[in-house]
Amino acid sequence: MADNFMSLVPLKVNKSEVSSTAEKVIDWLLSQKIIKDPKTDCVLGSNDGYPPGDNYNSILNSYDHDLLGLRTNGLDVIRTREVFHNGGNGLDSICCPTCSTNIIGSDWGILIDEWYNETGKDTVTCLECKAVHSIIDYKFDPTWAFGNVGFTFWNWPSFTNQFINDLEIITRKSMAIVYGRL
């Protein structure tokens, strides 16, 4: 069986804000009993994650009683610079934020490496409108996000709009949602 994930990425979090942003979200999720402590081996990768809490269903669009029976069912909190992508399941387009020209055929992978390594060379000039933007401002389809902190939920069904709104209020940031499958 393949594992699905949803990464919720607060946009434009500075490095100095990573710890406080992550802690605010974790504290709120724990207080609402959406996740619980202690961390366990419930996420993929080398980190332990937070398993679902007693009220995990309160943030879901539909009731899910199967989540608790899965081995991989937790929240992984990523606190490092990361490209949050769809698990290697392809891209349909990467469009200029100004004119929507698709640059999927260009060397955009190099620009992502430049952003990730913080070299300051992550901008691209659109061949159509000549606007200059960082690669992270381009519109990826399916959605990718770039950030210094993110919250990856493994095998959870879709979230309510209210939950996403609550996280945006807590973090004071817009939230990108990246869906993926491994």
Question: Judging by beta carbons within 10 Å of its beta carbon (0-12, 13-18, 19+), is residue 93 exposed, middle or buried?
Answer: middle
pTM for the model stands at 0.95
Tell me if 6 is assigned to some domain.
no
Does residue 103 share a domain with residue 27? no
Tell me if 121 is assigned to some domain.
yes
Tell me if 40 is assigned to some domain.
yes
- Distances in Å between the alpha carbon of 158 and those of 5, 45, 56, 105? 10, 22, 12, 32
Structure tokens at 172: 């004071």
At 65 the pLDDT is 82
Give the whole-angstrom CA distance, residue 103 versus residue 58: 40
Give pLDDT tens digits for 89-110: 999 999 999 999 999 998 899 9
Does residue 117 share a domain with residue 150? no
Q: Residue 149: pLDDT above 70?
A: yes
Does residue 173 share a domain with residue 137? no
Strand-pair partners of 124? 133
Does residue 153 share a domain with residue 136? no
Which of these, 78, 16, 12, lies nearest to 46 by C-alpha position?
78
Does residue 161 share a domain with residue 132? no
Tell me if 132 is assigned to some domain.
yes
Region 24-44: what's the mean pLDDT?
97
Does residue 98 share a domain with residue 23? no
At 50 the pLDDT is 98
Please, which pLDDT band fits residue 1 given cuts at 50, 70 and 90?
low
Region 46-55: what's the mean pLDDT?
96
Does residue 160 share a domain with residue 72? yes
Give the whole-angstrom CA distance, residue 137 versus residue 96: 8
At 64 the pLDDT is 83
> Residue 64 sits in which domain range?
17-79+146-181
Region 74-99: what's the mean pLDDT?
96
Tell me if 9 is assigned to some domain.
no
User: What does pLDDT average to over the chain?
Assistant: 96
Does residue 160 share a domain with residue 74? yes
Q: How far is CA 29 from the centre of its chain?
A: 16
Does residue 106 share a domain with residue 24? no
Number of compact structural domains in the chain: 2
At 52 the pLDDT is 98
Tell me if 126 is assigned to some domain.
yes
